[in-house]
């Protein structure tokens, strides 16, 4: 029988994930506040506001649930509603069902880490971010961990890809990160985000063991200055302005993806060079050859 996967907050990453799961034979239901983007995709649309408790009662049973919402705005109340309160409500709902999901996957973030000195971090490292976003993500991870339903949180680093080209545009404006102190950059292409989730679902479906937490970042954590310098050369741009982020906002860590690699996942874009080359080509950012 077909497995059913419910994607809550079926946006950009969710739609790429859905295509992969459908190709693998899954029935996929995509829940979001506006379903027009799902038309003709093969994804079964479900109009849903995760903050509406009455609407949550109508959620269908599913073998796998992927919780990947987005906050309306970068404010503590919005993050609490979208990530912590929303996930708790979904967990409570399915914990009361006769047929609980085989696994719930929560899309978390490496913002849970507070390290600032370029430390190497993995799933066992202290996650004590001072900012509200990291704190709330960590609380949501704990709620998933405390649930009797098997769950896995996936901490994605800086997501980029089609339409997520802010760094490219900064470089095109002539801006670049400072050389010192080095601010390490950790990134993952949108397609690898979907690929990681599909990979973990496939492992669970096959009865293979999964950890409760994975750090999902590509294989090339490097200083942001190096990333932007490489990009400037590809774009044939001469940097003219150094970006000075407030010290209190600076994070600098190197994400170790060893646990994820040990599951057998192969990155489609192992480094930012691979991924951003694709984004720059498809987005028309690269200068025409003379």
- Per-residue model confidence as pLDDT tens digits over 168-193: 999 999 999 999 888 999 999 999 99
User: Across all residues in the chain, what is the average pLDDT?
Assistant: 94
- Calpha distance 38→1 (Å, rounded): 24
Q: How many CA atoms lie within 13 A of 158 on its CB side?
A: 22
- Per-residue model confidence as pLDDT tens digits over 196-225: 999 999 999 999 999 999 999 999 999 999
Give the pLDDT of residue 250. 65
- Per-residue model confidence as pLDDT tens digits over 13-56: 999 999 999 999 999 999 999 999 999 999 999 999 888 888 89
Give the pLDDT of residue 55. 86
Average pLDDT over residues 62-84: 94
Provide, rounded to the nearest whole percent, the portion of the chain with pLDDT above 90: 87
Domains and CATH numbers, the chain: 4-164+187-219+253-282 (3.40.50.720)
- Per-residue model confidence as pLDDT tens digits over 45-56: 999 988 888 889
- Per-residue model confidence as pLDDT tens digits over 220-252: 999 999 999 999 999 999 999 998 765 445 678
Give the pLDDT of residue 246. 53
Element (H, E) at 192: helix 190-205
Give the pLDDT of residue 245. 66
Average pLDDT over residues 63-90: 94
């Amino acid at each position: 029988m077909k497995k059913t996967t419910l994607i809550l907050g079926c946006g950009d990453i969710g739609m790429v994930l859905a295509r992969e799961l459908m190709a693998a034979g899954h029935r996929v239901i995509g829940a979001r506040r506006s379903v027009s983007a799902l038309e003709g995709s093969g994804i079964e649309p479900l109009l849903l506001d995760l903050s509406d408790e009455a609407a949550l009662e109508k959620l269908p049973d599913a073998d796998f649930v992927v919780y990947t919402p987005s906050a309306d705005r970068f404010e503590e109340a919005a993050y609490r509603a979208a990530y912590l309160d929303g996930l708790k409500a979904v967990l409570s709902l399915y914990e009361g069902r006769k047929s609980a999901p085989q696994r719930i996957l929560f899309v978390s973030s490496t913002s849970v880490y507070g390290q600032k000195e370029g430390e190497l971090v993995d799933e066992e490292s202290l996650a004590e971010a001072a900012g509200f976003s990291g704190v709330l993500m960590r609380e949501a991870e704990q709620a998933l961990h405390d649930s009797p339903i098997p769950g896995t949180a996936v901490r994605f680093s800086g997501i980029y890809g089609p339409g997520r080209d802010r760094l490219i545009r900064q470089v095109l404006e002539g801006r670049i990160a400072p050389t010192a102190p080095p601010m390490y950059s950790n990134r993952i292409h949108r397609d690898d985000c979907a690929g990681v989730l599909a990979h973990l679902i496939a492992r669970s479906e096959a009865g293979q063991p999964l950890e409760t937490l994975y750090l999902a970042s590509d294989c090339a954590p490097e200083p942001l200055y190096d990333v932007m310098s490489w990009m400037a050369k590809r774009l044939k741009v001469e940097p003219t302005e150094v970006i000075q982020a407030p010290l209190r906002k600076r994070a600098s860590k190197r994400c170790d993806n060893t646990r994820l690699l040990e599951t057998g996942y192969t990155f489609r874009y192992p480094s930012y060079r691979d991924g951003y080359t694709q984004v720059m080509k498809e987005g028309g950012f690269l200068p025409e050859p003379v």
